[in-house]
């Protein structure tokens, strides 16, 4: 009935449709196993070639993880996870790999097993792999939580000290992150040791229990968190000396368009207007204005008017406003470095054309042997970058348009291999 692995016949019997869904799920798992084997093969080949070329051992394989991520159209930050996952399966967990190839485990569930066994040495990890996955029938019907619980129990039995040490080390990885949420909201996430995390939540919950002013419990907890961290009442407008990029027409209400909040992303212009007006009219807050210049036809940012007289600082700010996020294709990480696309040591100029906003990981990756990055301005005045990997694959990205400018064409990423254009991906 189905001749192609991806052929879809929506008119088939219901039982055939269900079986087809299951077959495609098994195919996805087998493809994930194949990607893992290929990633390990690429890493081994690259390390062998660099060893023959005399590259120091500590520097071999740099950038391979990013190449794997780009090939998978994923952000470079996930490349290390993909490659680490692949090495664990191929070298240390053959039964888990076999279950993945057979479609008994999904890629996510195989990732859970790799994660939960990461604290074990190779011998114990292999034992966990055999005990849990040697018999694929034992995996049938297990949910994510049950699978993780089984892996944790085996790991603790095999090496309780390693599990305890892992938990102790995790405390050093405490951090706070932010990412956009739907409807111009934000997820602010704190990764804390369990005792501290529970105590923070309990304190917020206690305040919600005592408050009866018409706000919901969640609203009270969110407002209390903001007030205790910033020392500012929740109803005081946020000082908009932050970088809110909005066109003059949208700011004055002549048109409805998008605005951009640096480090967050796009928001409706009406919301940006309200933020600015609240900050300007409330004596407890303040706002500043800085002019950006964009080409009217393409929306490409070309210059900035600033009161600052320190050129490097002003230039770095312009690049960050222009690029908004790391310029590596598929990477949405915040900008941490303003980098020379052509390195300064090779004569690269310190200017807007040769500058690009990069996250820390991508900036370090491009310094690995075989990587090249160049920048240009296209016919619309838009800043473009080209990333060439050691295998010869080339990836293009374009700086986003300034908000409030007419849409000319979609952002495109061109992918080359051995000098030939493979495809153009619209972003």
Higher pLDDT: 285 or 168? It is 168
Helix (H, G, I), strand (E, B) or coil at 203: helix
Q: Dihedral sign for Cα 341, 347, 349, 350, please.
A: positive
The Cβ of residue 127 has, within 10 Å, a number of other Cβ atoms equal to 17
Start-end of H helices in 7-121: 14-52, 64-71, 79-92, 94-102, 107-116
Q: Which of 3-17, 40-54, 68-82, 86-100 has the least mean pLDDT? A: 3-17
**Per-domain residue ranges of the chain:** 14-171, 175-230, 244-289, 301-426
Confidence of residue 337 (pLDDT cuts 50, 70, 90): confident
Distance of CA 217 to the CA centre of its chain: 31
Q: Which residue is listed with tokens 């007289």?
A: 309
Residue pair 245/272 in contact by the 8 Å Cβ criterion: no
Neighbours of 404 (CB within 10 A): 22
pLDDT at 287 over 50: yes
Rounded Cα–Cα distance for residues 77 and 410 (Å): 24
Residue 152: is its pLDDT beyond 70? Answer: yes
How far is it, in rounded angstroms, from Cα 52 to Cα 143? 46
Q: Could you tell me the two tokens for 161?
A: 């000290």
* pLDDT at residue number 313: 75
What is the pLDDT at residue 308? 35
Pair type for strands 383-388 and 175-181: unpaired
Cα-only R_g, the chain: 26
Which residues are CB-contacts of 332 (< 8 A; sequence separation ≥ 6)? 75, 325, 326
In this prediction, residue 6 has a pLDDT band, given cuts at 50, 70 and 90, of: low
Write the pLDDT tens digit of every residue in 223-272: 999 888 888 777 776 654 456 676 666 666 667 767 777 666 677 777 77
pLDDT tops 80 at residue 214: yes
Mean pLDDT along residues 380-401? 90
Q: Which of 83, 87, 142, 93 is nearest to 117 (CA)?
A: 93
Whether pTM exceeds 0.85:
no
Looking at the chain, the whole-number percentage of residues with pLDDT higher than 90 is: 37
- In degrees, to the nearest 5, what angle opens at C-alpha 138 toward C-alphas 137 and 139? 90
pLDDT for res 116: 93
**What is the rounded distance in angstroms from the CA atom of residue 190 to the CA atom of residue 168?**
17
Residue 210 has pLDDT above 70, yes or no: yes
State mean pLDDT over 340-367.
85
The mean pLDDT of 155-180, rounded to a whole number, is 86
Average pLDDT, the chain: 82
Segment 384-394 shows an average pLDDT of 92
For 348, which DSSP code?
A: -
The pLDDT of residue 159 is 92
Categorize the per-residue pLDDT at 299 as very low, low, confident or very high, splitting at 50, 70 and 90.
Answer: low
């Amino acid at each position: 009935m189905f001749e192609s692995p991806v052929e879809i016949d929506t008119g088939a019997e219901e039982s055939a449709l269900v079986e087809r869904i299951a077959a495609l799920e098994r195919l996805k798992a087998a493809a994930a196993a194949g990607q893992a084997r290929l990633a390990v093969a690429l890493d081994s080949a690259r390390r062998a070639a660099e060893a023959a070329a005399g590259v120091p051992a500590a520097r071999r394989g740099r950038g391979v993880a990013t190449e794997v991520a780009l090939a998978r159209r994923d952000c470079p930050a996930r490349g290390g996870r993909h490659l680490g996952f692949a090495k664990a399966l191929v070298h240390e967990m053959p039964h888990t790999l076999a279950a993945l190839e057979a479609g008994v485990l999904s890629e996510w569930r195989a990732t859970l097993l790799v994660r939960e066994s990461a604290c074990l040495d190779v011998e114990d990890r292999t034992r966990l792999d055999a005990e849990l996955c040697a018999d694929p029938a034992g995996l049938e019907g297990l949910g994510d939580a049950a699978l993780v619980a089984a892996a944790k129990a085996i790991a603790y039995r095999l090496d309780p000290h390693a599990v305890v040490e892992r938990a102790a080390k995790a405390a050093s990885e405490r951090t706070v992150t932010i990412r956009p949420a739907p409807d111009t909201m934000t997820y602010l996430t704190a990764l804390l040791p369990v005792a501290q995390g529970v105590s923070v939540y309990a304190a917020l919950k206690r305040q919600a229990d005592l408050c009866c002013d018409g706000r919901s419990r969640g609203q009270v907890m969110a407002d209390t968190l903001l007030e205790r961290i910033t020392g500012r009442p929740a109803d005081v407008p946020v000082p908009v000396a932050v970088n809110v990029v909005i066109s003059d027409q949208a700011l004055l209400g002549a048109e409805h368009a998008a605005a951009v909040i640096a480090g967050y992303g796009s928001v409706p212009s009406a919301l940006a207007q309200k933020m600015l007006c609240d900050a300007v009219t409330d004596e407890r807050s303040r706002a500043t204005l800085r002019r950006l210049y964009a080409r009217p036809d393409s929306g490409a940012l070309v210059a900035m008017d600033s009161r600052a007289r320190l050129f490097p600082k002003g230039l770095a700010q312009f690049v960050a406003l222009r690029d908004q996020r790391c310029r590596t294709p598929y990477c949405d990480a915040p900008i941490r470095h303003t980098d020379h696309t052509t390195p300064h040591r090779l004569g690269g100029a310190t200017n807007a054309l040769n500058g690009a906003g990069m996250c820390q990981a991508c900036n370090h990756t491009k310094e690995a042997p075989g990587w090249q990055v160049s920048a240009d301005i296209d016919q619309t005045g838009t800043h473009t970058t080209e990333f060439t990997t050691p295998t010869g694959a080339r990836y293009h990205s374009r700086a986003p348009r300034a908000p409030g400018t007419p849409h000319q064409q979609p952002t495109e990423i061109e992918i080359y291999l051995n000098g030939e254009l493979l495809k153009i991906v619209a972003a």
